[in-house]
Amino acid sequence: MAKLEKGADAPDFELEDQDGNRVRLIDFRGKKLLVYFYPRADTLGCTKQACSIRDSRADLRKAGIAFLGMSPDTPDKQKKFDEKYQLDFPLLTDTDHRVAEAFGA
């Protein structure tokens, strides 16, 4: 697995989110972006992580930081996770782990 070095350009991606939207890295060009990876939606650790970002979203937005989560879950599972915890931010589907591996996650 490759390791993304500090200061390196993030690997390009285009993935579907929980609402069926295509989300591309290029959409965030010129912005700060927090990308976090999790192994499976609606598990204890992943839920804590997602809710922490949800609870910090006002501060993140105030600092000009966009954010999104990514896991191998299907869009339907991501949607249920989003609705259950009112996450209200993009949860991307990386079913083949291609993007996670490119990031070294």
What CATH number is given to the structural domain containing 63?
3.40.30.10
Question: What is the tens place of the pLDDT at every residue in 43-89?
Answer: 999 999 999 999 999 999 999 999 999 999 999 999 999 999 999 99
**74: domain range?**
34-103
Q: Per the confidence metrics, is the pTM higher than 0.85?
A: yes
What does 3-66 look like in DSSP terms, one character per residue?
Answer: -PPTTPPPPP-EEE-TTS-EEEGGGGTTSEEEEEE-SSTTSHHHHHHHHHHHHHHHHHHHTTEE
Residue of 15, 46, 99, 100 with catalytic role? 46
In a domain, 4, yes or no: no
**Residue 46 annotated among the catalytic residues of the structure:** yes
In a domain, 10, yes or no: no
Place 2 in a pLDDT band, splitting at 50, 70 and 90. Answer: low
Asked if residues 3 and 18 have their Cβ atoms less than 8 Å apart, the reply is no
| 98 backbone dihedrals φ, ψ, rounded to 5° | -60, -45
In a domain, 42, yes or no: yes
In a domain, 21, yes or no: no
Task: Read off the pLDDT of each residue in 27-44 and give the average, rounded to a whole number.
Answer: 93
- State the Cα–Cα distance between residues 82 and 18, nearest whole angstrom: 8
Q: How confident is the model at residue 19, as a pLDDT? A: 96
Q: How confident is the model at residue 3, as a pLDDT? A: 74
Number of folded domains that form the chain:
1
Give residue 38's identity as a one-letter amino acid code.
Y
